Amino acid sequence: MVYVAMVTGFILILMGLYGALTNSNILRMIVAFSVANTGVNIVLVAVGYIDGRTAPILDAAVPVAEAAVRIIDPVPQALVLTAIVIGLGVTTLMLAYAYKLYEIKGTLDIAQFSELKW
Amino acid sequence: MIKRFIVLLFLLGLGLVFAGLLSGYSADNELNLTGRYYAEHTAQDIGAANIVTAIIVTYRGLDTLGEVTVLFLTATIVAVLLGRGVAQKGKSLQRDLPKSGELLTTGSFLLVPLILLLGAYVFINGHLTPGGGFQGGAIVASAILLMLLTDPLRHFSHRLISIIESISGLFFLGIGVLGIFLAGGFLDNRIFPIGEFGSLFSAGAIPVIYSLIGLKVGAEFSSMLVNFSETEGS
């Protein structure tokens, strides 16, 4: 079960990087980066999974006394919650800069932005 | 063509690295030391039913403060980058916007209050159920997004958004500092009584802190959305 999630995550990372490296449109690159970001998050969450256990929320199904043997690892989940929020911030900044670039050049083709090319 | 070949070669190498990682990975059968500590001590020490919330708001509260700061910086940079469009408001639209349609307009009247209510529910119950301030804030901002979809030229008060954001941020910090004087340290949740485990008014300051985070995150996401939407008019 955990391998399904991990393979999915790794494939998403590879797909995202492929899209970011081969597309020349900046918007498509941003979408590709988001896909890769999602892949990283899936892999991180999958690392904390333990077979046959449940979510780290203590309620009727998970008595406090048995918590340590009934729940999966909460630390990667907290980590990924942070990573998702930061990923959103990064995506927003990329979109804002893309808008600025479009305003300056009137195009989103990365090949037209050759000022820093060497 | 040669460029695409290099890209494929690079990805193949990365894929091999991933395959190596995957074949060497063996899932744990029990919690590691950190996870076990959180599982055994959250109920007595923090009183939150949702252990992830306990980690984010109390055990690693300082990191969350940093995370909220990063979001705040993002919202500010977006406002600075895109804000200039507002100054040239007199300019005409680049294109005619299509009408949003009866279905979307009526649907948003019905859905926006419900979405706001769900967002508030999610961040107030963050210590009991899956969810919390960040998720609730995102849901609140999705209501703003729906309103913007209905009318892309709708004007939202930047002042109101920034007031909500600054006040909730200040109170978040204030509660954190209160923790130094009334409890064990910065952002300690035991400044209020921990209460009965599993009820709404439990886990000390966690519901308050997470509600403030929810308001702050919702305001920040909304300000980003509004700034992006206002580029339409410039």
**B134 with B122: CB under 8 angstroms?**
no
**CA–CA separation, B137 vs B127, rounded Å?**
15
B152, part of any domain = yes
CA neighbours within 13 Å on the CB side: how many for B180?
A: 6
B88 by Cβ neighbours in 10 Å (0-12 / 13-18 / 19+) ranks as exposed
Q: What is the pLDDT of residue B52?
A: 87
**A95 with A30: CB under 8 angstroms?**
yes
B100, part of any domain = no
Contact criterion met (CB < 8 Å) for B31 and A59: no
Q: What is the pLDDT of residue A32?
A: 94
B57 touches chain A (CB under 8 A): no
Domains in chain B, number:
1
Look at residues B76, B116, B79, B106 and name the one whose alpha carbon lies nearest to residue B229.
B79
Q: What is the pLDDT of residues B126-176, one digit of tens each?
A: 888 888 888 999 999 999 999 888 887 777 888 888 888 889 888 888 888
Domain boundaries, chain A: 2-56+65-112
Q: Which value does ipTM take for this structure? A: 0.82
Q: What is the pLDDT of residues A102-112, one digit of tens each?
A: 888 888 888 88
* Window 31-60 of A, Cβ < 8 Å to B: 48-51, 55-59
B67 by Cβ neighbours in 10 Å (0-12 / 13-18 / 19+) ranks as buried
Domain membership of residue B234 as a residue range? 45-81+117-234
Contact criterion met (CB < 8 Å) for B18 and A50: no
Q: Was domain A2-56+65-112 assigned CATH 2.40.50.100?
A: no
* Window 91-130 of B, Cβ < 8 Å to A: 128-130
